Structure 1
Amino acid sequence: MNATYEYRALLACDIAGSAGRGEQRLQRIRGVLRAALFDSLDAADLDGRDFAYFDTGDGCLLVAPAGLPKARLLVPLLPELNARLREHNRHADQGTRLRLRAALHAGEIRVDEEGAASGAPFEVLARLLDSAPLRQAALAGPDGTPVAAILSRHVYEETVGHGHAGLDTDAFTAADVRVKEYAARAWLWYPGSPVGPRAGSDREDAGSRTCTDAKANADARSDARSGSGEQPAGPEPRTAEQSVHATGHGTVFAVHRGDQYIRHDDRS
């Protein structure tokens, strides 16, 4: 079977606290997330039909088209997504409100002729999404800031580090990620950061400079004191590939040799 290796930007989202809400509420919030994400892509002048979208049960995985600059998945996409989820939460009951963890990474993935994708970048993405610093940041902010994101070192250095418009280094806090055998330095885009919305404001301002949540700052900066390079820990080189499988009640990120099937979903 013919396959190509293509460099792609990746965005994974996970709904915090999705367990125990019941099937009907879970289906409702999954629909809200999908609609908010595609509306945010439109607002960011991106065509959702160009992306591969994968529903992971309690979140989603978005694979950007080849050639899309990584910075386009940050600003204005993240503030736009935050604004839409914030508006949803304003009118939703407790059982259908959303807090979202998001992770961004990029790398060379394997894509075969049937559209299946696999590769180590998916493993990095899964570890970032499951990391303690991101989970802490997602819980630290007020209800008005439902999105907290984490950037891999690679994405941070080639977007924020290159000084792309709208990306201020003050908006990100370094954190040390350690999940199982994976250890890496990453950067948090936390609730209330300058690139994000003002907590409790009626309009989202991606350029505003606001005070960050004290707990999120303390936790994240404490984690940042002993970071390492973005390589899985251990003396042996990694040979596993990452695949993602969706279930009815969550996402299983399995580290093994296998494929992740991603389809292009046209918007109705």
Structure 2
Amino acid sequence: MRPKSQHYSILVVDIAEFGCRANPLQLWLRERLYALTEAAFAETGLDHRSAPQPSDRGDGFFWLLPGTFDRTDLTGRFVEVLNHRLRDHARTSSEEGALRLRVALHQGDVARDGHGWAGEELNTACRLVDIAPLRTALASGTRAGLALAVSAEWHRQIVRHDDPSVASETFRRVAFDAKEIQGASAWIRVPGYDAPPGLTEAETAPPAGPARTSRPAAPGREPSGRTAPGPGTAPNRSGADGPGPFAGAMFDRVGQVFAGDQVVHGTQSFRWGAEPDEAEAPDRGPKAGA
């Protein structure tokens, strides 16, 4: 019988610089990791008793949390409480016993067979906790006990809605390239910082789209393959005269809606402000019927 998938929030945690510790210290750090995570759940009021037990990964774990979990609290209050407890740990431990974490949040369908858990979204979450910008931000953010990465989907559904507990303004978008995942994006933050430290402006810019070979346009056609507007044809001015982020924009396609990450196949044209011929044309006097 085929294992059935269920939808979970996926929490992945890795201990930074775990492999360079001696075996007894690794065991002690693992014990502290589980204790601090349990305490953070309890303090936040997130009841994980209905969730499957965490799956150990040696230097961390992944934890599948049911749909009843409040994802806003998981992103905001839980992360803050865990960070505070990690900082308390740091005050009483040596540099050798430092416990600092990379944390990732994603969601999706995961199935269980007789050996464990599997699914594309689980793979994605485990790749996410290991991306280079997250490692850099944690290494540079010495005041923090953890650095957090969330998937683009998690950001769209949870972070961008500006709940004060989530500190959405401190997240920055980075490239998410890892093994089978290419050209995706993620969002990261480090508690206590206005922006993830240690990252260059290029690293926090939206990832560029995949390269595409352009072909010359046929006569009378635009590069996108649409018929070029004829003389006197007014462009679609959706958003041109109203307020908001698209104020002043002029679009040459009607009915487009923008939300979250966009994947575009084919050429899209966006023009802000007046058309060149409009901006430079002399005043032709009053229009007919005015």
TM value normalised by structure 1: 0.71
Partner Cα distance (1:75, 1:29) in 2? 24
Larger radius of gyration: 2
SS in 2 for 1:221: coil
Partner Cα distance (1:62, 1:5) in 2? 15
Q: Deviations over 1:106-159 (max 9, x none)?
A: 0111245x69432101110121111111111110112x3010010001111000
1:63 maps to 2:46: no
**Residue matched to 2:10:** 10
Question: Contact 1:6–1:66 (CA<8 Å) still a contact in 2?
Answer: no
**Residue matched to 1:28:** 28
Q: Structure 1's 187 and 124: CA in aligned 2 closer, same or farther, altered over 3 A? A: same
Partner Cα distance (1:72, 1:227) in 2? 33
**Residue matched to 1:251:** none
**Residue matched to 2:233:** none
Q: RMSD of aligned C-alpha atoms?
A: 2.4
Partner Cα distance (2:66, 2:115) in 1? 13
Question: Contact 1:177–1:185 (CA<8 Å) still a contact in 2?
Answer: yes
Question: Contact 2:172–2:195 (CA<8 Å) still a contact in 1?
Answer: no
SS in 1 for 2:76: coil
**Residue matched to 1:51:** 51
SS in 2 for 1:170: helix
**Residue matched to 2:208:** 226
Q: Deviation at 1:220? A: 4.0
Moved more, 155-164 or 117-126: 155-164
**Residue matched to 1:156:** 155
Partner Cα distance (2:209, 2:44) in 1? 32
Q: Deviations over 1:6-63 (max 9, x none)?
A: 1110010001101121110000111111000000000110123223211211111111
TM value normalised by structure 2: 0.66
Structure (1/2) with the larger helix percentage:
1
Partner Cα distance (2:191, 2:44) in 1? 20
Unaligned runs of 5+ in 2: 211-260, 264-290
Question: Contact 1:41–1:77 (CA<8 Å) still a contact in 2?
Answer: yes
Q: Deviations over 1:86-107 (max 9, x none)?
A: 1001110121111110111001
**Residue matched to 1:167:** 166
SS in 2 for 1:166: helix
1:88 maps to 2:89: yes
The letter for the 2-side match of 1:51 is A
**Residue matched to 1:42:** 42
Q: Deviation at 1:169? A: 2.6
Query: Alignment identity in percent?
Result: 27
Q: Deviation at 1:172? A: 0.5
Q: Deviations over 1:179-238 (max 9, x none)?
A: 123121110012423xxxxxxxxxxxxxxxxx446524646425x34268699xxxxxxx
SS in 2 for 1:95: coil
Q: Structure 1's 36 and 219: CA in aligned 2 closer, same or farther, altered over 3 A? A: farther
Aligned runs of 1:211-250 on 2, under 5 Å?
A: 211-212=194-195, 214-216=197-199, 218=201, 220-222=203-205, 224-226=206-208
> Greater relative contact order (Cα 8 A, min sep 6): structure 1 or 2?
1
Aligned residues: 211
1:78 maps to 2:79: yes
SS in 2 for 1:72: helix
SS in 2 for 1:3: coil
Question: Contact 1:190–1:216 (CA<8 Å) still a contact in 2?
Answer: no
**Residue matched to 1:185:** 185
Partner Cα distance (1:149, 1:94) in 2? 22
Partner Cα distance (2:171, 2:115) in 1? 34
**Residue matched to 1:127:** 127
